Structure 1
Amino acid sequence: MPYKEREINKMYYTMGEVSAMFDVNQSLIRYYEKEFDILQPKKNKKGNRYFTPEDVENLKIIFHLIRDKGFTLAGAKEHLKKNSNDTKDTQSMITTLENLKKFLLEVRDQM
């Protein structure tokens, strides 16, 4: 059986890493942090923000609602308050399907 490297899961992501992940300015992430209660990054003494994987997942949900679904900020907040669990389940399914697509494309390219 071939050796498979384990994925490295970070405990915290810096603001720069998160902004690069979503290809947005850091100011937009700071703004969403103020607007959405589910986004609570840790801050050190200097005020640097450190995002947990859960915060990154919550950001994915926020960006999905605003960019893909076309919600306004007020509409996205209301949707998250009412359908928090359903929205998280939907986002996890989307992530799983994207990973499956990536894997299948890698298999196709290796053939």
Structure 2
Amino acid sequence: MHIDLPEKRYYKIGEVAKAFAVNTSLIRFWEKEFDIIKPKKNAKGNRLFTAEDIKNFKLIFNLVKERGFTLEGAKQKLKQNPEATFHNHELITKLEFVKAELVKIKNQL
């Protein structure tokens, strides 16, 4: 899944929810369930997500929404070997991008 967010230091919860096409309540729920997501909060208490949080959301989204893991299964997968899980997700994302580009080239021929 490609997430279209501008390059910024912090993202508001609405921006993150729109990028992932989910409700803000799901973002808040995942924040409580997964301790790898640690948004900063401003003086008003609004959540400000960093690029690292977005990367972690991508990983959780992939495990739960795309691969069908339960929340407990996703937590266990992240605890077992988080670096390998993230690395595999990055590879899959890059391969999907290459595949899409090849399909575009094929259609142009």
TM-score, normalised relative to structure 2: 0.82
Q: Which amino acid aligns with 1:76?
A: A
Q: 1:11/1:97 Cα in 2 relative to 1: closer, same or farther (>3 Å)?
A: farther
Q: Deviations over 1:23-73 (max 9, x none)?
A: 000000000000001011111111111111111111111111111221111
Structure 1 alignment gaps of length 5 or more: 1-7
Q: State how many pairs are aligned.
A: 104
Q: Structure 2: how far apart are the matches of 1:13 and 1:94?
A: 25
- Indicate which of 58, 76, 79 corresponds to 1:78: 76
- Fraction of identical pairs, as percent: 52
Q: Which amino acid aligns with 1:46?
A: K
TM-score, normalised relative to structure 1: 0.81
C-alpha displacement of 1:83:
1.6
**Structure with the greater alpha carbon radius of gyration:** 1
- Indicate which of 64, 87, 90 corresponds to 1:66: 64
Equivalent residue for 1:4?
none
Q: 1:43/1:109 Cα in 2 relative to 1: closer, same or farther (>3 Å)?
A: farther
C-alpha displacement of 1:98:
3.4
What is the root-mean-square deviation of aligned Cα atoms in Å?
1.9
C-alpha displacement of 1:107:
5.3
Equivalent residue for 1:48?
46
